[in-house]
Amino acid sequence: MALLLVSICLAAVIFLYFNNNPLNHSKKFIFRRFVNWFPLGMSYAFLYMARYNLNVSKNAMGDMMTKEQFGIIFAAGTIVYGLSFLINGPLVDRIGGKKGIIIATLGSALMNLLMGGATYLYLMGRLKTNMVVAFSVLYALNMFFQSYGAVSIIKVKAYWFHVRERGVFGAIFGTLISFGVYFAFDWGQAIVDASKLNPEGPRTAFQNFIQHIFAIDTGATDATWLVFTIPAFILIVWALIDMVLLKDSPKEANFDELDTADASSGDDDDVKITLGLIFKKVFANPVMITIALVDFTSGVLRNGIMQWYLIFANETKETNPAFYAGSEFFIKNWGLLLCLTGVLGGFIAGLVSDRMFQSRRGPPAAINNFIMIFLLIAMCFFLTKNPTLFGLSAVLMTLAVIGVHSLMSGTAAADFGGKKMTATASGIVDGCVYLGSGLQSLSIGYLSAKNWHYWPLFLIPFAALGLFLALRMWKELPEATKKYILEVEKAEALKQH
């Protein structure tokens, strides 16, 4: 049933893509652009599966990986992810998004295979080094390669989508994130359940498939390492597909170059991307700094909910059985719920931006942050008291925060950075997301060990800060976009007369 809903959701996304053509591109161009973004997007979605499988493995290992240990490992990865954009953002701007996504998928696949090996050795009692050290190093390396994914997908998008279309692509970007979360949590949990030494109830067809294909019966322990190795094999397949189908720009696919009306519109095609130019257009741009700070708060909020809800809910099994019983729907369908609400949140934010605010990204970001403040207050009230309303508030949080993240990382950074430096610009913005994620990982891992009530309280100031910053960029648009909108309005006025 869950897979059917996700498939319907994917079909709806594809339908909306083909029916959104404000610039009247040819059918051939629209189809070729789909062939470009779909495999690229699915590669990015499975990168998410190979990122958040750590969360699933933590729940599978139970007390063998404590909250504090998990917080340290996850923080090590997210901090490396955030800082690595200083290297790979400018690099992807030079080498292109195609090479960038191939580096991301193959590099992450290798690291996941190594994490699977480390998990096997740990569970079999053969790991000679400290588990936290081993996983922190491998997960950090995984996240280094993962960081190529976001900048690569946005780099390619910047050449294929006009600014007036990017709100919808931001929605597609949010959808891909949501699919990745579904793959990570629900498919990942299905892999964990299928790889148990003594599964509960009768074996399913998927369990039999896993048992026979991977020959996992060690007779000693659950094969939890498969939650790392299976995503690695999937990434390798998508890397091969990207090698064949992906093109960095319309020109490489034998179309005319598209003037996207972003911050690089009108620039000389032969201009050299120097550190000085990057500093001027990105680091010295107050709008870019504001976008990065808004996404920093979204990183705290997104992973502050997505990463910790299952851990919290599973802990109540012993301490508050009635609350746990009321949370089972959310626990069993966490990935699916995050997927569906993330898709909805991304599309609402993108369509509102393009249709109601002339492709300004600040207004819908401000609205979503305003909503999140109230949802977090509700979580404070319902924590341990009403599992249904608490779970519903947590799920709706992801709807709002994916809307903010898809607009900031997936769209605004490319708008104001321009297609020539979009990887550097989006990399800095996305890096701030994961610096925020690292901060919340260390903080909530520490605070929740004392009292879970600190969890939503810790997040409220970041939603308020996100609201304040989004309001500051309410009216901002790149100059080329303003010029394009004025030209369109003049042309429409002439038609009416």
Count structural domains, the chain: 1
Residue 255 forms part of a structural domain: no
Residue type, 125: G
Q: What is the DSSP letter of 187?
A: I
> Does the pLDDT value for residue 384 go beyond 80?
yes
Residue 334 forms part of a structural domain: yes
Range from 196-205, 298-307, 444-453 carrying the lowest mean pLDDT: 196-205
Q: What is the DSSP letter of 257?
A: P
> Does the pLDDT value for residue 270 go beyond 60?
no
- Nearest Cα neighbor of 375 from 336, 401, 408, 403 is 401
Q: What is the DSSP letter of 64?
A: G
Q: What is the CATH number of the domain that holds 117?
A: 1.20.1250.20
pLDDT given at position 221:
67
pLDDT in tens, 220-230: 667 778 889 99
Residue 76 forms part of a structural domain: yes
Range from 59-68, 98-107, 289-298 carrying the lowest mean pLDDT: 59-68
Mean pLDDT of 274-302: 79
- Nearest Cα neighbor of 55 from 298, 227, 272, 221 is 227
pLDDT given at position 162:
77
Taking the C-alpha atoms of residue 122 and residue 133, their distance in angstroms, rounded to an integer, is 12
Residue 477 forms part of a structural domain: yes
- Structural domain that includes position 57: 30-248+275-496
Residue 25 forms part of a structural domain: no
pTM: 0.77
pLDDT in tens, 359-380: 788 899 999 999 999 999 999 9
Taking the C-alpha atoms of residue 131 and residue 347, their distance in angstroms, rounded to an integer, is 41
Residue 260 forms part of a structural domain: no
What is the b/e burial string over 388-411, where b = at least 16 CB atoms within 10 angstroms of the residue's CB? eebbbbbbbbbbbbbbbbbbbbbb
Mean pLDDT of 24-39: 88
pLDDT given at position 338:
84
pLDDT in tens, 310-355: 888 888 888 888 888 888 899 888 888 888 888 888 888 888 888 8
Taking the C-alpha atoms of residue 286 and residue 469, their distance in angstroms, rounded to an integer, is 11
pLDDT in tens, 219-265: 566 777 888 999 999 999 999 999 999 998 888 888 888 777 665 65
Residue 258 forms part of a structural domain: no
Residue 259 forms part of a structural domain: no
pLDDT in tens, 408-419: 876 777 777 666
